[in-house]
Every structure is written in structure tokens, then in C-alpha cells.
Structure 1
């Protein structure tokens, strides 16, 4: 695993290795405010050898998430909570990016935070995503038909303000969540974006929102801006035919490559996230690294989703990618970096019953109680 443990420049920052911790929703915030157990969780993994930590998705404005207790970045108490976490992560030797997240059409109007926001569920077009499960709402309803965003620049400005708040909180950079069927991905996908203005239609127009978000947050963070994309799609009812996928994401990446980004994360096809509707899988299976590498001449590629340690070493040694993000393995192994370096087994099984916490259950269970390797 020698290639994994070489330092690398990420934006304007040097990190100690090529081992990243991917964003992973955990639902442990105090309503929307980061707290002490979240600090313990991130510090465990910083001490466990993560070169770069990307936070769980951080909501840029009050929204009715199906994941209760997701943290935000629009109020001072949230900024203060993240600052405590960031200071502790830095002291433990890691760098940390905030993943900026807007749900778009995957919010619910009856969720408490959406009611408190006093705004509709907004999306590129008034087209509902199939699926969804709001476990804490009566009847566990699914997704609803959203309201078309009248002016997408309003949401772009919310991304920028979240970046301003992230900088105040001491983050090293930000990663725009452009994957998994949330708002950036909804603009990119022709099934969820059927606008007839400059924000929809052609691949160029559907890519406009993502590119304008990147430009806006770069005004705040300069070189320390990244984006995560999942061109194989599937989750949250997105996915296009292969050629349309290549045309759309190829254009987006060609233009993003001109912006001096810290990195682009390409999320590989994941059968766990490939939802079936009417007897048909939703995703467009293809090798996202091989397909989209030619579109990036200047931007480092990081890859995630089901990468084995052996694959990771081969990826980096070949020069195809700059680094690897792991999600589930970091969830279950707070010392993942040390385990990889010393050849220890990845032998902690995930507790899916408490992945997102559970009412009346100690939030540490399935969160900060995974055992470290015996040395």
C-alpha cells in the first residue's frame, strides 16, 4: 500500500496520504447543530489516519430531509459547532472539507424543518422522484411533486453563503454535492430537469447550475473547492441513457476542468444504490473512471464506492486517480488508515439498525463504538 501513503497537494493544502473519508449521513446532530458526539466521531477518524475528511452532507439552508438530525451551515450556532469539530480534527492531524448539500425534490413539505423554513420543496422542474421514505412522518410517505425553482440563482447564492459560513467555521475547503440525485444532479439529469429556459434542455444548459455553483463557492475558497459526481446514477430516481450521460457529464467536466478545482470525485456504479422501478434498474452501468478521465486534463480525480485496498493501490500506482475515498469502511473502522498501512483486517461489520441513529437509543451505538484493531 505504499502509493496510498504518499503526501499530495489538495488545492492549496498538503495532506499526509491518499486516503479520504467520504461523506456519509449519520443523523447525530442536535436538530441541525453539530455537537460533541459528532466531534468525537470525526476526531476518531482523523487520529485513525484519514488524510482528508469530507463531512456528511451539510444542508445549506433549512430543508425537510428524510434524514432527521442532519447538520446545517446557515446559522451561527451551526458555524460555532463546526468550528469546534474542525479545530479538533486539525489538532489530530487531518484536513477537513464540508460537503455542501441541497436536497431539491427529495425534501418533504410536512417535515418539521421544511415547515419551519416556510418555503415549498424546490427543484429544477415540477417532477417528483419515485421512492423515498420519511420514516418519522406518519405513514412513512415518499417523495412529492416539488415546485419549480423560479430563479436558480437564489439557490446558487445559498451555496455561496454556506461556503462563507464554512470558511468562518475553519474548514479547509468545500465539496459540492453533485451526486446521488440531489439538486445539482437534478439539474444535470434530463429526467428531472425539463426546463425550457437557459437552465434546461441541452447538456450545456443542464450543466449551467453546477458550473455556476462551483464558480460562486470558488469566490470564497479559491483553489479549495471540489465536486462529487455519480454519473452512473440510480439513487433518487436519476439516470440517463449512456450516450446522453457521456455528453452531459463530459461537457460538465470539460468546463469544470478550467476552474482549477482541488479535485473531482467520481462515484462508481454501486448496486446498493441502484433502485428498481417497474422491474427495471435505474442506473446506467459503466466504468466512470475510464469514461470520464479523458475530459479532465488539469484536475485530480478521486474515486469512491466499493474500492478494495488492492484496487486503490493499483489505481494510484497507475496514475489514473490521485486518491481514494472510503465511506462504509470508515464508518465501521475508525482506524482505517492505520489498518491499511499495517495490513490489518477490515473486520467490523456495520450496524445498519443504528446507521442513522434510532429514537431512544444511545447515539454512540453504531457511531463511535466500533472497535479499533488490536495491535
Structure 2
């Protein structure tokens, strides 16, 4: 019997309605001040509750973890209450939702983190990377990132505890689980990749050392909420936000082996998705499948056909569709019935109000 994109799947203690994932997508519409999730966001996510799994937009675990203006946090009671509004709305529509927990590390500007200096694995600025700050208008101001300072052992221990607490906060906010954002050049990724990590201590140098921070964060979260509620996102071949690894195949196969030891519930691989990006080698996908025994999710340039093929070939268990979910709240039905997909307006992706967020209609035959 061939497995389909539209078949149910077990994810830990959960049974998901299908194998379609709405992956994390920053939309920068949290209420100010306080970076609080709101009713507008609740409407947006609830409209998309027919996904087998929704992963929230990246949600900062602390004031220092924030990279961009207007992104939501999950460290204050007000933020937890805001997210509870969202998860209640998604659950009312029969959906399942994980919170993506996020610390951007060096991918920020001091204006976004209360005039502090960013922190990272090493005191190396991300090259050619801009973030947006709140410049007092509806249009964000784009600025070069600030140069970070190298994290001390105390900083590392503190951030591990912040991730642990954020996982507990996410469960309090009604999420079904959490996804650790260890991809796309943010803090965990800054420790993993060889070019951004120039440390001389037990967190730098060898591959084992560069994976230590990931190991400690995942261990803390698994201890706090259970392995069946913890997923991790990696981006092995991306060079987003200036992180590059000298040997990504070796590095990320080792990361998958490590995560398998923690028995996390899923591994989410973000493939490079710009138009002329190289494909992820099949040999690498097979190596990841061998290294990691849980639910394997891929997201990237997937359409209905190649998503179905990836599941049929056994390389993936679930597939994430990012931008298609922006303009197609009923994406699973459109894929299943071959309905045409609407195009999103790129000008309304970040910031603003309901326009370009919750005003895309479902398909009408």
C-alpha cells in the first residue's frame, strides 16, 4: 500500500489528519509594545488548521533573541496569554500546532534588543545581512546587523535555560509541542557551522564540540516537556544569514545521529529554495533517513507531485509548503483536488494588518 500525502500519521501521542505541514513563516504582526500574539494571528492560523501540522512563526525565547521588529515572543505572561488565543482557535478547528522557538544570536541590530550587543558563538558579524527595525512608521527600516560578542559559559548556560523555560511556556500556551529553530543562520546554527564558530573552548573546533550547544538545548527541552513534543529544524545546505559549513554533509548527518539519540519526535529539514538553488543530494537524504528514525519532514520547493513522490520513495514522512500556505488557507484541499493555487502578494508578507494575512479566500469552484 502506497502512503499518500493525505494519509494520517502518528506524531508521538498525536494522530495528524494528513502529512502536509505549514512550516514557520515570519509575518511580523505581533501587537506592540510587548511582542504579543493577537486575534489577527489567531484568525490567520485557524484558517490554515486543515494542515496536518502547523508550526508557528519563529518566536523569540527572550528579549535578546529577537532579530526583527514586530516578531512575537514567548517569555512573558502576556505573550503566553496571546499565544493561548491562537492555539485555542487552531484547536477549535481540529488543528495541531507546534511553537517554533527562536534565538537569532548575531542576526539582529541593537535597536531590536534594548540597545544591548548581540551574542553569538564568536565575535564575528554576519556579512551582507540586514534586519529591519521599527523606525516609527509602518514601513520597517532595514539596517546592517550589529557585531556580536562571543558568548561566555554563563551566557550559554543562561540561553539553554531560556530554551527550557520557553518550551514549558509553549505547553502552558496550549501548543501541542515545540520546534527548535536550529536553521537558517540563527544562534544554534552559528555554533554548528564551522565558518561562524571560531571558539577555542569545548563549544568550538571539532564537530563534536560544535554540536554541543545543540545537544544541551535539546536535552534541556526534552527533560522539560518530553521527547514526543520536541522537533528540531535544520538547514544543512543553506548559506542564509552568513553561516557556512566547510563540510555540511558530514556535519548534518552527525547532527541527525545526535538528535536520534534524544528520540525527538521529528526532524524538519529546510532545503534551499531559491530558484536556481542546488537540489539536496539523494544520497544525503538517504543518509539522514538512516541516521534519524523519527518523523522526517522536508520543506522547500515542493508542489503536489514531487511532495507525493518524496513520501512514496520513503525519503520523507511529511512535507512543508511555505509560501503556498500564505495565499491558500485551504491548501490541503487544493492539493488533493487539483484546484489552482492563488499567488501571494510579496508586499504584505511582513508587518501591516489583516491585508495579505487573513484576507485570502478559500477556493470556490
For normalisation by structure 1, the TM-score amounts to 0.89
Q: What's the CA shift for 1:219?
A: 1.4
Q: What's the CA shift for 1:121?
A: 0.7
Cross-structure match for 2:310: 315
Q: What's the CA shift for 1:273?
A: 10
1:306-355 Cα shifts (integer Å, max 9, x gaps): 11110111111222211011110111101101111211111x21211111
Cα distance in structure 1, aligned partners of 2:259 and 2:147? 31
User: What SS class does the counterpart of residue 83 from structure 1 fall into?
Assistant: helix
User: What SS class does the counterpart of residue 134 from structure 1 fall into?
Assistant: strand
User: What SS class does the counterpart of residue 104 from structure 1 fall into?
Assistant: coil
Cross-structure match for 1:99: 100
1:156-179 Cα shifts (integer Å, max 9, x gaps): 111001001111111100000011
Cα distance in structure 1, aligned partners of 2:290 and 2:300? 20
User: What SS class does the counterpart of residue 194 from structure 2 fall into?
Assistant: coil
Cross-structure match for 1:236: 241
Cross-structure match for 2:209: 205
Q: 1:272–1:237: structure 2 CA closer, same or farther, 3 Å change rule?
A: farther
Is 1:19 the counterpart of 2:20? The answer is yes
Asked whether the equivalents of residues 327 and 360 of structure 2 are also in contact (C-alpha less than 8 Å), the reply is: yes
Cα distance in structure 1, aligned partners of 2:28 and 2:229? 26
Asked whether the equivalents of residues 240 and 284 of structure 1 are also in contact (C-alpha less than 8 Å), the reply is: no
Q: What's the CA shift for 1:221?
A: 2.0
Cross-structure match for 1:194: 198
**Equivalent residue runs for 1:44-63 within 5 Å:** 44-46=47-49, 49-63=50-64
Moved over 4 A (4+): 283-288
Is 1:128 the counterpart of 2:125? The answer is yes
Unaligned runs of 5+ in 1: 275-282
Q: 1:325–1:90: structure 2 CA closer, same or farther, 3 Å change rule?
A: same
Cα distance in structure 2, aligned partners of 1:314 and 1:20? 16
Q: How many residues align?
A: 353
Q: 1:149–1:357: structure 2 CA closer, same or farther, 3 Å change rule?
A: same
1:275-334 Cα shifts (integer Å, max 9, x gaps): xxxxxxxx99645524532322x2221100111110111111222211011110111101
Q: What's the CA shift for 1:148?
A: 0.8
User: What SS class does the counterpart of residue 4 from structure 1 fall into?
Assistant: coil
Cα distance in structure 2, aligned partners of 1:184 and 1:273? 27
Cα distance in structure 2, aligned partners of 1:147 and 1:273? 34
Asked whether the equivalents of residues 67 and 356 of structure 1 are also in contact (C-alpha less than 8 Å), the reply is: no
Q: 1:13–1:137: structure 2 CA closer, same or farther, 3 Å change rule?
A: closer
Asked whether the equivalents of residues 232 and 286 of structure 1 are also in contact (C-alpha less than 8 Å), the reply is: no
Unaligned runs of 5+ in 2: 136-140
User: What SS class does the counterpart of residue 15 from structure 2 fall into?
Assistant: strand
Q: What's the CA shift for 1:68?
A: 1.4
Cα distance in structure 2, aligned partners of 1:55 and 1:102? 14
Asked whether the equivalents of residues 23 and 57 of structure 1 are also in contact (C-alpha less than 8 Å), the reply is: yes
Cα distance in structure 2, aligned partners of 1:103 and 1:310? 34
Is 1:305 the counterpart of 2:300? The answer is yes
User: What SS class does the counterpart of residue 305 from structure 2 fall into?
Assistant: helix
Cα distance in structure 1, aligned partners of 2:217 and 2:181? 10
Cross-structure match for 1:35: 38
Cα distance in structure 2, aligned partners of 1:122 and 1:65? 11
Cross-structure match for 1:80: 81
Cα distance in structure 2, aligned partners of 1:71 and 1:211? 25
Cross-structure match for 2:151: 149
CA-atom RMSD in angstroms: 2.0
Q: What's the CA shift for 1:143?
A: 1.5
Q: Select the residue among 165, 169, 173 that pairs with 1:165.
A: 169
Identify the range of structure 1 (263-272 vs 130-139) with the bigger mean alpha-carbon deviation. 130-139
Cα distance in structure 2, aligned partners of 1:102 and 1:332? 27
Asked whether the equivalents of residues 69 and 134 of structure 2 are also in contact (C-alpha less than 8 Å), the reply is: no
Asked whether the equivalents of residues 89 and 95 of structure 1 are also in contact (C-alpha less than 8 Å), the reply is: yes
